[in-house]
Amino acid sequence: MVAHVALERASFPPRRPTLSLAQGRRFVARRVPVLRQSIASALLLGLRFVQARLISVWGLLVAAYFCPPHVFAAFAVFSAAATFVSLPALLRLEAVFFRSGNRRELALAFRLALTSGVAFLALAGLALIVIVQLGWLPPLIGMVFFLSLSARTALRLLWSEATAEGDFRAIGNSNLVQAFVQPVAMLLLIGVFGPKALALFAADAVGHWVATLYLLIRRRANLRDLVHPRLWSIRGLSWGLQHWHDAPRILLPAAMLSFGFTAAPLLALPYADNSLLAAQVALAMRLLDMPTQMFGTVTGPLVMRTLRSGDRRRRRFWMRGATLALAAAAIGLFLAIAFGALTFGSVFDGSKWDGIGEVVAVMSLFYAGIALFNPVHDITTLARNTAWQLASHGIALIAIIAAILWFGALSHELLYALGAISVARAVTHVLFVWIARDDPQDSAAGGFSGMRAAAP
């Protein structure tokens, strides 16, 4: 919310012409309702995410009490695998929803992303059947994995569409629904199957699917307009794929490398001499992922929606102000988390999670960089030279793998090194925003006229 208020204030022109008193009053009168509406949207979305995360935290802590530490390590790997495999499902076409305010372009991009998602899930289902038949994966785990994979794919598509249309209430409510259902399902399944990883896997799939069904019901009228049968054509889909070819060619590899970076601490778990430290890192990742998602999902939709509907002539100025506000908010949030973890970590002294407070504090540095990076990366997708962004993802991932190999074992020193690399990656993308220029393919004139000329 603080970031969004600062960003709204940054939308004032850098040089205003001299105004008379009457003109000034009219100017302020026009701005106040917009600012008030934006603040209200930020408060509403922020409140729902705070509620959602508070609900999910208690469920996670209760599950941590009942489940042995190694179960969380297995669940962290499962969640990371499902999220990573779901990334190429939409060919990253959901990123182009924000490049234009033209609803016809949004509809075409949505149909193209939906087609890609259906085809990908069909192939993924066949691949899982083969893997199960070969005996490499238990059938029940394979089925739960596919359910979780499909829910993540659908949820990302629906979240992007709701964000582009400015329905922040639907986004917040869907997270609130998921945060309530998933912990309850987790505890019920632990009671049925016992403290096993399967209970956490199944609860993950249930939580994501309930949130997806909520969005489908909430956005059904808008979705019918986007996927009406008379709008579909092979020519239109082919034109869209050619027009937004940078999404699967550059944005998708960048997203996969970026997620690989985010999940990189999991690569260090097999190198842990101390199994308790490995479990603590896995639990810390689950706990810190919540404020990271909350930060990104509160700031991201507001930033991207404003960019989509704002004046393109002042986009570069607005983007620079956005990065400063986001950086200040991320630093403040994760400094508070680190201080709180060190202060209250002594509560777990003598238990099986002894030392978790220090691990959470150290990992806060890593997740602070991720929290800042995510919305800033979304902003940079609207600019030229996205190839540089792809290169930066590869360099960061290589650096983090090299650090793991250099230390040779999971330790607090390695976690500090991973945090420093994460912050450096975020700062690099802040610099990309400051030197970026708009992509001429997505200018207002070019995008609209191109759509009218070539799209059906």
Residue 110: predicted pLDDT: 92
The whole-number pLDDT of residue 113 equals 92
pLDDT attached to residue 436: 61
Residues of the chain with pLDDT under 50: 1-36, 39, 439-456
Global pTM reads 0.68
| Residue 315 pLDDT | 61
3-state secondary structure the chain: CHHHHHHHHHCCCCCCCCCCHHHHHHHHHHHHHHHHHHHHHHHHHHHHHHHHHHHHHHHHHHHHHHCCHHHHHHHHHHHHHHHHHHHHHHCCHHHHHHCCCCHHHHHHHHHHHHHHHHHHHHHHHHHHHHHHHCCCCCHHHHHHHHHHHHHHHHHHHHHHHHHHCCCHHHHHHHHHHHHHHHHHHHHHHHHHHCCCHHHHHHHHHHHHHHHHHHHHHHCHHHHHHHCCHHHCCHHHHHHHHHHCCHHHHHHHHHHHHHHHHHCHHHHHHHHCCCHHHHHHHHHHHHHHHHHHHHHHHHHHHHHHHHHHHCCHHHHHHHHHHHHHHHHHHHHHHHHHHHHHHHHHHHHHCCCCCCCHHHHHHHHHHHHHHHHHHHHHHHHHCCECCHHHHHHHHHHHHHHHHHHHHHHCCCCHHHHHHHHHHHHHHHHHHHHHHHHCCECHHHCHHHHHHHHHHHCC
Query: How much is the pLDDT for 154?
Result: 95
pLDDT at residue 101, as a whole number: 66
